[in-house]
Amino acid sequence: MKKSKTTFVARTMMFLSVFVLSSCGTKAVNDTETKAEEVSSEGISTPVTLTSSKTEEVSENLDHQQKPKTPKPDLELPTLPFEKSKLPTVQKLDEMLMDDAWLEAAYNLVYKEIQVLEEKSETSMSGTPEDQIKAILTKVNGVKHFNSYARPIAEAAISKFKEKYSYDYEFGEKFRETYYAAEEEINGGVIDDGTQIIQDDVKRREVYSHFRNGYQPSRSSELQSMNHLLEQSDELAENVIGSVISLAQTDMMVADYRKGKDIADLLNGTINNLNLVAVLNPNHEEIASMISRVEVKRESRMEEIKKALEEYQFPERYTAGNAPSNASDLEKRMKAYLSKSKRTSSLNYEVQEIRIASKWFDIKHAITNEHLYSQIDFYVAVPSLDDPSVLEVLYVTGKTGGPHHDSFDRYSVGGIGQMLVSNL
């Protein structure tokens, strides 16, 4: 089972290149509290087979993403007691107000999404291996959702705005120029034959009064602020990676004090967590370096880890008071669903055992509070890709197709351990 460094690096790079194609996500939850979250990019993530040199490739990818769509601005343009079609400079001012309003509407949406991302990126990773997996997937999915939903809206809004105005101050300058030109148009503007646009003095004063009350000469855009939000999202993504690397560093410090099953669980979990977060940056040098460190440590304790396989028992079914009454039926449904789902490019999941691991959770949109779908967790045992005597124990979160407890249509996966087939 000992592998060369070259084989390990190749396996890691192959895994990362495939893993980035899959979506993953779920909210870290516990038995006493259900927090609403927004998950708009769900799909399938592969666990890491820690003893395997083979790459687990996912060819199935279910698309449940919200399509990026810039929200319409909530803007009521000022009215004048005169036909604006005869005041082209005022119309130009209205056009600039609309340009800014579209950018502001996008900014408001992206700002809310940043708040959601901040909350997810702060998810605690303490607790059981299952808790850590769910927390990391929450962080990863938060970044993936922002990048697939909010970022395209921000970039499209910025691009459209910059077709006319390169910088905030340029917009402000043009707006002031247009404002004062509109004043002149109302008070002294003439048409082609030389007559004033508004010939009646009383009407002209009335129109100008409404203009002054409805328009202001100073106006700034959200262009710079929007760029700052994108920079902030990049920092949050890096913080997510950093949090997992920091957790791995802590694991390495305590590894020498662990023995038997404890050291196996610790190191297997550490490398699995690093691979889960690597989807955010497959070329991240610190992730690759930390994976290498953990693998070296793991190889040095391989005899203990092999022995720990003999001690690992498949987890018991969740049986708290809020456990679903139809647990057996749900297990059969998820088993059937997984059996039709791709584990590798040429292999479906072969479920040897499955047990409910949680209660139902109803997932809501973090901003609108709309009930999106329901989810429930399972322990799942599948054969190792390398050793026929070993089973991989996975933690699978099954998601429904809507706000109901019905058939599953997507899932996320993390690995939590290994066991001998004979212990099942």
Let me know: does 76 contact 93? Beta carbons within 8 Å: no
CA distances from 271 to 47, 253, 347 (A): 11, 14, 23
Residue-level pLDDT at 189? 79
Ranges of the chain whose pLDDT falls below 70 = 1-67, 192-193, 366
CA quadruple 205, 211, 217, 221: dihedral, nearest 10: -170
Radius of gyration of the chain (CA): 29
Domain ranges of the chain: 5-69+113-155+225-423
Residue-level pLDDT at 55? 29
Residue-level pLDDT at 238? 95
pLDDT, one tens digit per residue, over 370-399 is 888 899 999 999 998 888 898 999 999 999
CA distances from 72 to 98, 157, 164, 369 (A): 10, 11, 19, 20
pTM for the complete prediction? 0.75
pLDDT, one tens digit per residue, over 70-100 is 888 989 999 999 999 999 999 999 999 999 9
Residue-level pLDDT at 350? 93
HSE, side-chain direction, 13 A CA sphere, residue 384: 18
